[in-house]
Amino acid sequence: MTEETTVTVELSKNEKAVVDAIEKLTVVEANNVAKYFEEKYGISAAVAAAPAAAGGAAAGGNDAGEEKSSFDVVLKDCGAQKIAVIKVVREITGLGLGEAKALAEKGGVIKEGVKKEEAEELKGKFEAAGATVELA
């Protein structure tokens, strides 16, 4: 068993203001900010989680025989039928029209941590609408 370590970080007034502003963003806006930081500074939450995942794989033995149980549905390209894709984004996420349009145009994670069956179903809906989707 592993022990969880809790780290408390003290934020300055300016840092707290930034965190407060980020917390007010929509999911799409926060996703865009995360992408910006990844591209501009190479900062990614996935990078921080990678060592823990690597340690888990090393402890578990051979990873080749294990099947992934949860997937992220990632929209890569909305294709020529943007309106149809926007409708699917709204259906799946519950986002408003403007947010769904922005997500369809820019792409990104539509849904995280879904079971394989649901991920395949969502991928099928997007592909039927003309979009390119990846399961990560």
Which distant-in-sequence residues (6+ apart) come within 8 Å of 9 by Cβ?
A: none
Q: What is the pLDDT of residue 57?
A: 46
127 assigned to some structural domain: yes
Does 82 lie in the same domain as 49? Answer: no
pTM value > 0.85: no
In one letter, which amino acid is 12?
A: S
Q: What is the pLDDT of residue 15?
A: 83
Does 123 lie in the same domain as 79? Answer: yes
CATH of the domain at 79: 3.30.1390.10
Mean pLDDT value across the chain: 78
At 86-113, the pLDDT tens digits run 999 999 888 899 998 999 999 889 988 8
Structural domain boundaries enclosing 79? 67-136
Last residue of a domain, one of 43, 65, 87: 65
Element holding 47 (H helix, E strand): helix 45-60
Number of domains observed in the structure of the chain: 2
Reported as a pLDDT band with limits 50, 70 and 90, residue 2 is low
Q: What is the pLDDT of residue 55?
A: 47
Written as six digits, the tokens of 6 are 């809790």
Does 126 lie in the same domain as 78? Answer: yes
3 assigned to some structural domain: no
At 30-42, the pLDDT tens digits run 778 877 877 777 7
CB 57 within 8 A of CB 64: no
Task: Please give the Cα distance from 104 to 97 (Å, whole number).
Answer: 10
Q: What is the mean pLDDT of residues 124-135?
A: 91
2 assigned to some structural domain: no
Reported as a pLDDT band with limits 50, 70 and 90, residue 65 is low
Task: Please give the Cα distance from 116 to 71 (Å, whole number).
Answer: 6
Written as six digits, the tokens of 21 are 């502003």
100 assigned to some structural domain: yes
Does 61 lie in the same domain as 93? Answer: no
71 assigned to some structural domain: yes
Reported as a pLDDT band with limits 50, 70 and 90, residue 61 is very low
Predicted confidence (pLDDT) at residue 59 exceeds the cutoff of 50: no
